[in-house]
Chain A
Amino acid sequence: MLFQIESVSLSRGQKPVLDRFSALIEEGATAVVGPSGSGKSSLLRLLNRLADPDSGRILYRGSPIAERDVLALRREVMLVPQLPALVPGTIADNLTYAAKLARHEQIDGDRALTDAGLDPGYADRDTAKLSVGEQQRVMLARALAVEPRVLLLDEPTSALDAEATAKIERALSRLRRRGDLSLVVVTHDPQQAERLTDAAIKIEPSRPAVGLAT
C-alpha cells in the first residue's frame, strides 16, 4: 500500500477542511476528485508533510509519515504545485536548482525534459519567456530530475488551455506507463481522472469524508 490515510481531520484557520477522512492509495496512478474547496489540495499537502493533520495519521509504505525524516520524505514523495513557481534563469538552471535542494548529485536533464514533454534542446531557454503551459512542464521536469518514487500533482492543468492540457496529459500518461513512479493527481475534472489514473478517491465537501480507492 502506498498511502493509508486514517481518520484524518484538518482545519485551516477556524474552517474545517477534512473531517475524519480515511482512504487507501495503491501504487500506480490515483486521482483525488471533488469540487472546488472540498480539501483535495489540502489532502495532497498532507502526503508529503507540507502540512500536518490536526488528528489522525497517514502511513507511507506501511510506516507513519510523522516518524520519517521530513526532507527525505519530500525528496521521495514530490509535490508539483498548481501554479508554476520557477526560479529566475534557464530551464537547465531550474533542474540544477532542484537537484541541489534535493541533494541529488547527478541528474539526467534530457530524460527529465523528455519525460515532461519538453524538447531537451529547450534547456537553455529563459523560463520567463515560456508560456504557462511550458512553465508547468518545466515544474514537472524539475521534479522528475531528482527521480522521486511518487509524484503528487495538484491540478496540473487548471491554468492551461486545451492544447497545453493535452501536452501535460500525454506526458503524465507516459509517466504512468513507466512503472517505477506512482502518481497522485488532484483534479476537479472526472474525465481527466479517468484518462490519467487507475483509481479515484472522491472528496465531498461539508460532511465527514470517507474515500476508498476503487
Chain B
Amino acid sequence: MSTIDISPGDVAASLALVAVAVGIAAWRQTDLERDIGIAVVRSFIQLTAIGYVITLIFEQDNLLFVFALIAVMVGFGAFTARARARRVPGAMLPLVIGLSLAAAATLGLVVGLGIFEPKARYLVPVGGMVVGNAMTASAVALNRLGDEFDDSAGRIEATLALGATAREAALPAVRRALRSGTIALIDSTKTTGLIFFPGTMVGMLLAGADPTDAVRLQLILLYVLLGSVAIAALVSTALAYRNFFTPAQQLRELP
C-alpha cells in the first residue's frame, strides 16, 4: 500500500482556494471574510494540537486516556451546541447526556461486535466522528425546538388548556425538532456514493486501500453514525423540552 507524504508547504498551498473564497466574499460584500479567517486559524490550531494529543494517546495505548479525550470532546460539543440552542432553558445537561449516550452506544457496539479492537487507534477517530455529528444534529434539533416553542406558544398552551400533559402538548414541536436534527444526515446517507464520497472512504482511497475494504468500513461508520446521531438528537430533545414547562404542566415564562 502506498502512502502519501504531506509537507507543511502542501498544507499552506491548499489555502489558495481559501483565498479565492475570501476574494468572492469580499467582492460580494457578504461579510464572511472574518469568519473564514477565524475558521482557517482555529482549524489549524485545533487540528495541530489534537494531532499531538492523539499521537500521545496512541503511544500510551491506555483506554483511560481515550475515555478522557472523548469526555473532553463531549464537553466541548455540548458547549458549542448550547450556543445554537440559546432559547432552550437548561440545554447543557440534555446535550451532555445525549452526546455521551451516542458516543457510548457507538463505541460499545463497534467493540462489542468485534468490528474494531478496543484500541486508541480505532476508538479515538470513531468517537470523534460520532461526537462531532451528534453535536451538529443535537444543535440543529434544539435550535428548532427553541423556535417551535417561540412560534407555537399559543398552540401549546391551547393544548394544555384541554387537559393535555406537557409531553402531549410539546409532541408536535418535538417531532419537528427531531426531524430537523436528523434530516441532513439521513439525506446525505441516502445520496452517499452518488453525489458525494464520505470522508473515511476518501481517506482510505487516498491512502491506497482496496476500494471494497474502504466501502465496507464506510458503510459500518455510516450506519453507526446514523444510529448515534438519532440517539443524540432524540435524547437531548426528549430531555430539553421538559425545561419549557413547570412541574404543574404550565408553559414556563421565558425571558
A interface with B by C-beta (< 8 Å): 12-13, 48-52, 70-72, 74-75, 78-81, 83, 85, 87, 98, 101-103, 139, 142-143, 146
Contacts and interface: CB of A to CB of B under 8 A. Distances in A.
Nearest to B155: A85
Interface residues of B, number: 20
Nearest to B169: A101
Contacts of A70: 248-249
Given A12-B253, A49-B250, A51-B250, A74 B157 contact: no
Contacts of B55: none
Contact of A81 (B154, B249, B250): B154
Contact of B154 (A51, A83, A87): A83
Contacts of A75: 162-163
Interface in B214-255: 246, 248-251, 253, 255
Nearest to B251: A50
Contacts, number: 60
A52 B160 contact: no
17 contacts: A12-B253, A48-B161, A49-B250, A50-B250, A50-B251, A51-B250, A51-B253, A70-B248, A74-B160, A74-B162, A78-B163, A85-B154, A85-B155, A101-B164, A142-B162, A143-B162, A146-B163
Contacts of A50: 157, 160-161, 250-251
Interface of B: 154-155, 157-165, 168, 172, 246, 248-251, 253, 255
Contacts of B161: 48, 50, 74, 78-81
B162 A98 contact: yes
A50 B157 CA distance: 8
A142 B162 CA distance: 9
A51 B161 CA distance: 11
Given A12-B253, A50-B250, A70-B249, A101 B163 contact: yes
Nearest to A139: B158
B125 to A, nearest CB: 44
A46 to B, nearest CB: 11
Contact of A85 (B158, B246, B255): B158
B152 to A, nearest CB: 8
Most buried by B among A50, A83, A146: A50
B162 A101 contact: yes
A109 to B, nearest CB: 15
A121 to B, nearest CB: 24
